[in-house]
């Protein structure tokens, strides 16, 4: 009998070789997935409950109440999206357009600038399948996939045999790690680990660009020109190189330009690509869907036929400046993921959550609507961290509605 494979929605890698066993209509065993993936695909330990003002409510009433809040709000925001199917994201954009709302996603304070540079063709990218088949030099910069995307190295980058890399990590591939601490990934990279001080990434980006231009590279910390040139030469000699950019690098840069400059320089002398280490399974899908609709990847406000865009439309600035009076939060837990001093502003506005699990945010929400878990309980499409669209089907049946359907119902009530 042919095996049936499913897609894991545990992270932006969207592993498509997952086998499951079911018991009483529930996922009882998950094969091939990492620890995080298994935990995601099994049922929530604390499923979300349908509630209005903390009291149990029917789904119908919760949807009507959610629509009422959005309709009556002067300045609502829709936020989250990273753990939603592409269809749910498109429906959310429609809700935002109808209500004249702000719309932002989690990329606003993580990989947004990198994805934006890729979609605007400022940075050359490639697919993970190309990395698997061709890459000989893989750089993890400010990233620790051994913990954030546990199958990244084994499925696509360092360990697998690819079409042009049949001798894998033993002979055909070099993995390099640049980070502020010796992470588990840095340990795998062995003597190709380059430790830098916090916030020194821009300096090293510039020094590498200088080294690749034939200048003597200098930095203010304890990494001599010889060591920097050794790294620059490894990059220069790559037949097919890729830089996997983690939040460690993104957060240390004020602007994306130094990274763009290094990529440009690398592609003058070598053949280099960049892939953002996107965390949530469909954060990149949200960027793509909004970009298609508005030309922006995040941080917008819909006003009639106009779209306003800028940092002032980011969820962080909206909450900090108390610009919004209602929030529809889809598949995200900002009470947990935002700075506490900013997240507390959510306590003073009407919050609606759509989530499979009980979260810190759903517990404080005025309206909490339980959704099916995408990947295990509902199918759809998502965009992998490298921009490839992946279709996935449900593993089990559920009575709970998918987030796309809930948003469609809210739209119907508006």
Partner 1 sequence: MGFGQFLKAPEYDIKIITYRDIFQSTALESSGCGDEYAERSAVILLDKGDMKKMVLKDGRKAVLKNNFGRVVVHLRPSDYDEGHEGIGYMTNSPWSNALVSSETGGSGVPKFKMITASISDAKDEKVTSFDE
| Binding site residues, partner 1, CB under 8 A | 10, 34-36, 38-40, 42, 44-46, 108-109, 144, 146-148, 150, 180-183, 195, 198-199, 247-248, 251-252, 254, 299, 311-312, 314-317, 320, 335-343, 357-360
For the CB of residue 19, give the shortest distance to partner 1 in the complex, in Å. Answer: 19
For the CB of residue 194, give the shortest distance to partner 1 in the complex, in Å. Answer: 13
Alpha helices of 3-85 — where are they, by DSSP H? 35-41, 59-72
> Which residue in 214, 187, 345 sits closest to 268, CA to CA?
214
Nearest to partner 1 of 47, 56 (CB atom): 47
Nearest to partner 1 of 333, 386 (CB atom): 333
For the CB of residue 251, give the shortest distance to partner 1 in the complex, in Å. Answer: 5
> Which residue in 82, 69, 61, 127 sits closest to 288, CA to CA?
82
Beta strands in 121-173, from DSSP E residues, in sequence order: 137-141
For the CB of residue 112, give the shortest distance to partner 1 in the complex, in Å. Answer: 8
For the CB of residue 80, give the shortest distance to partner 1 in the complex, in Å. Answer: 16
Nearest to partner 1 of 182, 237 (CB atom): 182
For the CB of residue 76, give the shortest distance to partner 1 in the complex, in Å. Answer: 18
For the CB of residue 279, give the shortest distance to partner 1 in the complex, in Å. Answer: 9
Q: Are 282 and 382 in contact (CB under 8 A)?
A: yes
Nearest to partner 1 of 45, 305 (CB atom): 45
Nearest to partner 1 of 200, 231 (CB atom): 200
Burial class (CB in 10 A: 0-12, 13-18, 19+), 53: exposed
For the CB of residue 35, give the shortest distance to partner 1 in the complex, in Å. Answer: 4
Q: Are 176 and 140 in contact (CB under 8 A)?
A: yes
Angle at 245 between CA 240 and CA 248, to 5 degrees: 150
Instruction: Tell whether the torsion through CA atoms of 340, 343, 349 and 353 is positive or negative.
Output: negative
Nearest to partner 1 of 129, 197 (CB atom): 197
What Å distances lie between residue 63 and 81, 207, 257, 402, CA to CA? Answer: 18, 55, 44, 13
Nearest to partner 1 of 86, 252 (CB atom): 252
Q: What is the DSSP letter of 255?
A: S
For the CB of residue 298, give the shortest distance to partner 1 in the complex, in Å. Answer: 9
Nearest to partner 1 of 335, 365 (CB atom): 335
Beta strands in 48-187, from DSSP E residues, in sequence order: 51-52, 55-56, 76-80, 102-105, 137-141, 174-179
Nearest to partner 1 of 63, 316 (CB atom): 316
Nearest to partner 1 of 267, 396 (CB atom): 396
Q: Provide the β-strand partners of residue 130.
A: none
For the CB of residue 311, give the shortest distance to partner 1 in the complex, in Å. Answer: 4
- Residue 386 three-state SS: coil
- Residues in Cβ contact with 82 at an 8 Å cutoff, skipping those fewer than 6 apart: 105, 106, 107, 279, 280, 281, 282, 283, 286, 331, 332
Alpha helices of 157-224 — where are they, by DSSP H? 184-189, 201-212
Nearest 5°: phi and psi at 32? Answer: 80, -20
């Amino acid at each position: 009998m042919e095996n049936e494979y499913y897609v894991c929605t545990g992270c932006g890698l969207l592993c498509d070789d997952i086998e499951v066993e079911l018991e009483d209509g529930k996922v009882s065993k998950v094969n091939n997935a990492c620890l995080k993936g298994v935990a995601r695909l099994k049922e929530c330990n604390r499923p979300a409950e349908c509630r209005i003002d903390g009291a149990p409510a029917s789904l119908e009433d919760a949807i009507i109440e959610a629509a009422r809040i959005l309709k009556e709000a002067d300045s609502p925001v829709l936020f989250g999206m990273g753990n939603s199917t592409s269809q749910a994201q498109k429906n959310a954009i429609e809700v935002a357009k109808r209500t004249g709302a702000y719309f932002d996603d989690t990329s606003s304070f993580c990989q947004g600038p990198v994805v934006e540079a890729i979609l605007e063709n400022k940075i050359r990218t490639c697919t993970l399948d190309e990395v698997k088949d061709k890459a000989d030099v893989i750089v993890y910069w400010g990233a620790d996939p051994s913990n954030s995307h546990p199958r990244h190295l084994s499925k696509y980058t360092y360990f697998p045999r690819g079409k042009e890399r049949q001798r894998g990590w033993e002979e055909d591939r070099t993995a390099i790690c640049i980070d502020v601490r010796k992470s588990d990934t840095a340990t795998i990279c062995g003597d190709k680990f380059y430790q830098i001080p916090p916030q020194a990434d821009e300096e090293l980006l510039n020094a590498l660009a200088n080294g690749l231009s034939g200048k003597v590279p200098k930095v203010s910390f304890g990494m001599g020109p010889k060591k920097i040139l050794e790294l620059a030469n490894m990059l220069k000699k790559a037949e097919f190189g890729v830089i996997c950019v983690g939040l460690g690098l993104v957060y240390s840069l004020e602007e994306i330009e130094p990274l763009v400059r290094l990529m440009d320089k690398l592609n003058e002398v070598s053949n280099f690509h960049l892939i953002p280490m996107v965390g949530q399974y469909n954060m990149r899908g949200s960027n793509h869907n909004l970009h298609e609709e508005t030309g922006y990847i995040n941080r917008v406000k819909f006003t009639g036929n106009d779209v306003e865009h800028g940092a002032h439309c980011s969820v962080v600035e909206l909450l900090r400046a108390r610009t919004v009076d209602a929030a529809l939060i889809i598949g995200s837990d900002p009470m947990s993921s935002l700075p506490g001093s900013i997240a507390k502003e959510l306590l003073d506005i009407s919050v609606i959550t759509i989530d499979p699990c009980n979260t810190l945010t759903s517990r404080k929400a005025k309206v909490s609507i339980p959704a099916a878990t995408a990947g295990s309980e509902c199918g759809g499409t998502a965009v992998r961290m490298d921009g490839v669209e992946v279709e996935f089907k449900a593993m089990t049946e559920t009575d709970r509605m998918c987030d796309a359907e809930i948003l469609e119902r809210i739209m119907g009530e508006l």
